[in-house]
Structure 1
Amino acid sequence: MSVKGAGGGHAGDPSALRKLNVAAVLRLLYAAQASGAARSGEVTANDRYTVTEIAQTVGISRPTAEDVVDALVEHGWLVAAAPSPAVPGRRSAGRPARTIAFDSQAGCVVGVDLARHWVRALVADLAGRVIGRADYPVADGASAAERSAAARTAITEALRLADRDPAQIVAAAAATVGIARPDGQVVRSTIPQMEGHSIGELLGAFLPVPVRVANDMRAAVLAEYWAGAAVGCSSAVYLHVGRRIGSSYLIDGVSPLGHHGAAGEIPPESGRQLVDAYRKLVSFTGVGVDTLPRDEMLGIDPLTVFEAAQRGETDARQAVVDFADEFAAATEGLVITVDPEVVVVGGGVIVAGDIAADAIRSRLARVCMFEPRVVVSPLGESAAALGAVRLALSEVEEILFTNPFDRGQTAEEAG
């Protein structure tokens, strides 16, 4: 009887064992650069290992470590770094040992936020450091083709600012308003022109890699967990108030989709109540909203109200408090169900400081068995695009830890 090993090979299969060794080395060095020190874009002493250290940490022989490192350097994933600085007062004998680091500049990822009024594109290196950003406005009634063209413009500009070529893109992801199937087709959206269209196909027409697609609120809560107010938290609920209104949640780093992809969505009746509350909120912008159709009214940016509330204007402050209370009422069922460690308040409302968060905190304190911590997001309206970057990095990790040698062109070849 034969025993199967990793990758479908037999136990003792050299190719299967090599895949395990390659994955282990990549995990070690990728985790080192992703730990935070590499955010500066520089390789630091904490990000690099000598070949001997790699062998000892991973638990393989030094010749095996040499073989794996050489192969990964050749394929563009690892880079030889400068030796660690000498310890003062200590003389080192012989030539300094070669040190190796994951090459965060070996490619880039693209994250796109397809919002109702804009397209935002972020380009990040493989350490997750954003190196290029571009926003492009979109008209309310823009068609799917026009929004795709806007995305192409924004991505092209973000790549230019990042000094990257499209051929260097390793992975891409997009966050979109509404509910999208796993294949990227939008089934429901507050942008009616997008319903029935596949985001993956629209963006895939000019991107060299498959495009992963997620709901914008789900992407936003992932961003908060990765680089925002929910870092280190086991569970979170995300509430977004601004030019879009929505909610999502996350447990153990995962934002569940649900059977139809609608997990965490605001219920229809609560949504109708929120629309009425939003109409009242944006009436303080000075625009006559009473006779405006729903879609037109929802297109009004409440930013000026948030700014007035922050300045201490009584009416604007009360308007923000009233809306935040309605929003908390609409989503309290989600909060009670998830029982999160933290509730993150994001979107344009962060301009009003803690005013909205305090109102939400007060409401939840009355209905939750265990009152969650309520905090303001540091990411604001960039959360969805950053979440798309995080999703794209997950695709990179899938490539790295399954078969990095099927990557295709290296960044050097592509350049």
Structure 2
Amino acid sequence: MFRHHSQPLVSAPAETAVLALLLAEGPLSRVELARRTGLSSTAVTKAARPLIDDGYLYELPPERTAPGAGRPVNPLAVAPDREYFVGLKISADELFGAVCDLRAGIRATAGRPVRECTPEAVAALVAALVDELLDMDPAFRERTRHLGVAINGDVDRDAGRLRHSGLLGWKDVPVAQLLAASTGLAVTVENDVRALTVAEHWFGEGIGTGYFALVTIGSGIGSALVVNGHLLRGAHGVAGEVGHLCVDPVGPRCRCGARGCVEAVGSTDVILTVVREAVGNPRLTFDEVVAMAREGHREAVDAFTRAGHAIGVGIAALVNLVGPERVVVSGEGVDAYDLFSRSIQEAYAAHAFGAASRCSLSIRPLPWEEWARGGAAVAIQALFPQPPATATIGAG
């Protein structure tokens, strides 16, 4: 029988360890699970049993072993269709939604334009979009109880509130409460870059890493960090903001109010503004600026070079402080990464300290559907007991 509640699926540490590892890296044998989690084989079997009984895990056919190595083993695997999750990315002009399975595989997508960007109007639009998604397959509606929301701005995930988003023009909005009321689902809200980082750490480039970072280039410069296997939020929920590291104390004013932030030099909005002013054409689009830079237009090339240097210095500072094993660079701005790449890499190499420079930078263009998948990944986390920095608000 399906569990229609918003409580964590697992509560015991052993169950949590086994299910989390299988979600990210399964199928795995009980022996391998014991080795990887540090549990005894008996503890692994005991932890897996209720998850098998409830249909979240299943045993694969026996694997043959070498002669004399003992009886064949039955690897354990996650049943991805056992539960579904709706992921949502809210932007100022569009909603992107996805239904994902238990391993964050995208099963269905849909989007709707946002014509009135008020919390109440968006909540109604979300309800309609969620209905559209869940109606795409009878199993979706039957097996979906969680909605994960990826949204720009300063998010208090404990309270399910958006404290502030300059992009949306929202301040102190109880997003989880509004959307739980409009959709009937349990809602978890997270900053969009952090949600994307959760998806990449659990199900993408960051699988198996204890220290991982993601940096996004776009109208802002976003970033999030995984430290010792956990998403880092800090005491005030704003840890890891590489976009607001100062790279030039007398540089341009950032929209945060400070001077010389990475974002004040490296964002696509700033590049566009700088080139418009340099050539005296306020109607230029970002795509036109990209084309100008690729054709060798000096003002456009210089703007991208300065931006890349600022981003590279910011990434180096992040790597020096935290020492991640891998940094993924993503966001809408990476479509023009060829114009940033050399200056990013040069600045990173010049400022990364010692062994920290062994951290690899990988470029991963991600479509908007992947941001919605980030929301679903955050919803998947609701299956697990969360530390005090996280919480889920249930409908009704």
- TM-score w.r.t. the length of structure 1 is 0.66
**2:7 alignment partner in structure 1:** none
Residues 177, 215 of structure 1: 8 Å contact kept: yes
1:150 paired residue number: 125
Q: Does 1:282 align with 2:272?
A: yes
Asked which structure has the greater RCO (Cα within 8 Å, sep 6+), the reply is: 2
Mapped contact 2:104–2:203 kept (Cα < 8 A): no
Q: Which residue of 2 aligns with 1:59?
A: 42
Tell me the distance in 2 between the aligned counterparts of 1:212 and 1:164: 22
Deviation at 1:205, TM superposition (A): 1.4
Deviation digits for residues 96-145 of structure 1, max 9, x if unmatched?
A: x9998643222211222222332222211113211112222324x61112
SS at 1:204 equivalent: helix
Contact 2:199 2:377 in 1 (8 A): yes
Using the TM superposition, give the Cα deviation of residue 287 of structure 1 relative to its aligned residue in structure 2, in angstroms: 11
The root-mean-square deviation of aligned C-alpha atoms, in Å, is 4.3
Q: Does 1:166 align with 2:153?
A: no
| Counterpart mapping for 1:2-401 below 5 A | 31-32=21-22, 34-35=24-25, 58-59=41-42, 75-77=54-56, 102-139=78-115, 142-161=117-136, 164-181=139-156, 182-265=158-241, 266-267=243-244, 268=256, 269-270=258-259, 274-275=263-264, 278-279=268-269, 281-283=271-273, 302=286, 305-306=289-290, 312-315=294-297, 318-329=302-313, 332-370=316-354, 371=357, 372-398=359-385
1:322 is displaced (CA, Å) by 2.9
**1:205 match: secondary structure:** helix
Q: Distance in 2 between matches of 1:285 and 1:239?
A: 24
Matches of 1:375 and 1:302 in 2, distance apart? 24
Asked whether the 8 Å contact 1:303–1:349 carries over to 2, the reply is no
After superposition, the Cα gap between the structure-2 partners of 1:333 and 1:380, relative to the gap in structure 1 and judged at 3 Å, is farther
- 3-state SS of the aligned residue for 1:171? strand
C-alpha separation between the residues in 2 aligned to 1:365 and 1:324? 12
Question: Which structure: larger Rg?
Answer: 1
Looking at structure 1, the residues matched to 367 and 178 of structure 2 have their Cα atoms a distance apart, in angstroms, of 27
Q: Say if 2:85 and 2:147, in contact at 8 Å, map to a contact too.
A: yes
Q: CA deviation at 1:383?
A: 4.6
For the Cα contact (< 8 Å) 1:242–1:301, is it kept in 2? no
Please give the per-residue CA displacement for 1:283-320, whole angstroms capped at 9, x wherever unaligned: 5998999798xxxx9xx9745645776xx432355543
| Partner residue in 2 for 1:94 | none
Deviation at 1:184, TM superposition (A): 1.4
1:240 & 1:327 partners in 2: Cα distance? 10
Q: Kindly state the Cα deviation for residue 345 of structure 1 after the two structures are TM-superposed.
A: 1.4
The separation in 2 between residues aligned to 1:232 and 1:85, in whole angstroms, is: 24
Q: Deviations over 1:341-382 (max 9, x none)?
A: 333211112223444243222112222213242221253545
Instruction: Look up the SS of the partner of 1:59 in the other structure.
Output: helix
Report the Cα distance in structure 2 between the residues aligned to 1:24 and 1:119, rounded to whole angstroms.
38
Contact 2:86 2:98 in 1 (8 A): yes
| Gap change, CA 1:205 and 1:348, over 3 Å in 2 | same
Q: What is the rounded CA distance, in whole Å, between the counterparts of 1:330 and 1:270 in structure 2?
A: 14
Cα distance in 1 for residues equivalent to 2:223 and 2:75? 45
Q: 1:197 to 1:367 in 2, by over 3 A?
A: same
Superposition deviation, residue 220 in structure 1: 2.2
% identity of equivalent residues = 22
Aligned pair count reads 344
SS at the partner of 2:107?
strand
Q: Which sections of structure 1, spanning at least 5 residues, go unmatched?
A: 1-18, 38-45, 50-56, 88-96, 400-415
Query: What is the SS of the residue equivalent to 2:82?
Result: coil
The question of whether the paired residues in 2 share the 8 Å contact of 1:350 and 1:380 is answered with no
Question: Equivalents in 2 of 1:307, 1:130: separation in Å?
Answer: 33
CA distance in 2, matches of 1:285, 1:154: 38
Cα distance change of structure 1 residues 31 and 332 upon mapping to structure 2, 3 Å threshold: closer
Contact 1:171-1:209 at 8 Å conserved across structures: yes
Question: 8 Å contact 2:145–2:185 — kept in the other structure?
Answer: yes
Distance (whole Å) between structure 2 residues aligned to residue 306 and residue 386 of structure 1: 28
Q: 1:260 to 1:308 in 2, by over 3 A?
A: same
Cα distance 1:151–1:302, how it changes in 2: closer, same or farther (>3 A)? farther
Q: Secondary structure at the match of 2:306?
A: helix
2:383 is paired with a residue whose SS is: helix
- Residue 113 of structure 1 aligns to a residue whose secondary structure is strand
- Contact 2:86/2:100 (8 A) holds in 1: yes
Answer whether contact 1:184 1:213 (CA < 8 A) is retained: yes
Shift of 1:329: 4.2
CA contact (8 A) 2:26 2:77 kept: no
